[in-house]
Amino acid sequence: MISFSVLQTDRACAARSAVLVTSRETVKTPAFMPVGTLGTVKGIASEELQGLGFGLMLSNAYHLYLRPGHQLIQEQGGLHRFTGWNGSILTDSGGFQLVSLADLHEVTDDGISFQSHLDGSSHQLTPELCMEIQEALGSDIMMALDECPPYPCTREQAQVSVVRTTKWAQRCVLASRGHQRALFGIVQGALDADLRRQSARELVEMEFDGYALGGLSLGEDKPATFAMIEASIAELPPSHPRYLMGVGLPEDLVEGVMRGVDLFDCVVPSRHGRTGWLFTTHGRVLIKNAQYARDDSPIDEQCHCPVCRKYSRAYLRHLYVSNEMLGVRLNTIHNLWYYHTLMTEMSSAIQTGTFLTFRRQFYEQRRHCPRSAAYAELAGVGDPLIAEGLKNGKDG
């Protein structure tokens, strides 16, 4: 099980710092969870991940069920022993990935019938099997099976999803009784605030250990995302952790924390590292660009990560354009360090009651980055033309 204690709430907004304790790790929140879908963050060893400051990692039950199999992992002593990870593990149920990756699938009230995206074999994922898989993996925090509606969707589709998610959540609660693992419910409702509130209220009645917000950052504009976060959180108990699933960019984390979110996960820092996008205090750097060919400065002068302390932009560009695997690893290490540092800085600002000042300075430092400028405009400062571009899905 877990315990969760709120230490401080910023006096000017909903941002809060807290401590999440599992049987393995004490995690200060707000916190970001690196995504190790198959039990590893691509290219990063478990001891390196812990050395970067992370104590909580996300893995995916659907992917591990298909390969190598939850029973094999259980035979090997569970996912922690199998992967050599000493921290805590949250396992996503995989419902979203299943529907998006499976070659053929059918969702009914009983569960999700699908063909594996690996070999075409037939399977059915039910709430009961979802709990069995995560129990076998030895997860510290399990996620209930939910139905994530497509984006865009009709209100009727969103309503069916909420009803089904509630029924599946009830079955997950029953299937997990007698076990000592924490279980989070997932709020659905697409972009309908009333359905979001309904979903949250129904889950709260089941007394989960924590609550997640699913079905966001699927292509909707940012004001809609923020509105759904606010509608959902208003119905969730302040005594429990709140987890925004699959989000996101640094600006998303800042905006989520301001609205009371405690936990985040996303593939962004590792995936962007593999594609040469590096996060810095002043915005993003695309390291493959020719302008860095003779640049002997670090990625970020203000960063103290192992990469910035030793390597130049010129060298990292050389590694990237030469397709050297070391370049991908170093890029990922830097991005993960950046994310952990960002969460630590936000926690400190909350504790001193200065989060809104931190947020303003965060955007000011990035005023020349179009995407950050767009977020700043949505927050009340900046160029409205850039903000309109972000609302229409354009990336600066």
Tokens encoding 257: 């924390």
Q: How many helices (H) and strands (E) does the chain have?
A: 16, 16
The residue type of 161 is S
Where does the chain show beta strands of DSSP type E?
3-9, 16-21, 26-29, 31-34, 56-60, 88-92, 105-107, 112-115, 122-125, 141-143, 182-187, 210-213, 242-244, 263-266, 277-280, 283-286
Nearest by Cα to 395 from 255, 221, 190: 221
Please name every residue paired with 183 in a beta bridge, in sequence order, or none if there are none.
Answer: 142
Catalytic residue among 92, 192, 252, 262: 92
Cβ atoms 266, 342 nearer than 8 A? no
Nearest by Cα to 249 from 226, 217, 227, 275: 217
Question: Is-catalytic flag, 252?
Answer: no
Cα(199)–Cα(70) distance, rounded to whole angstroms? 30
Catalytic residue among 140, 252, 265, 300: 265
SS3 126: coil
Question: Is-catalytic flag, 265?
Answer: yes
Residue 352 CB contacts under 8 Å (≥ 6 apart), including other chains = none
Active site residues: 92, 265
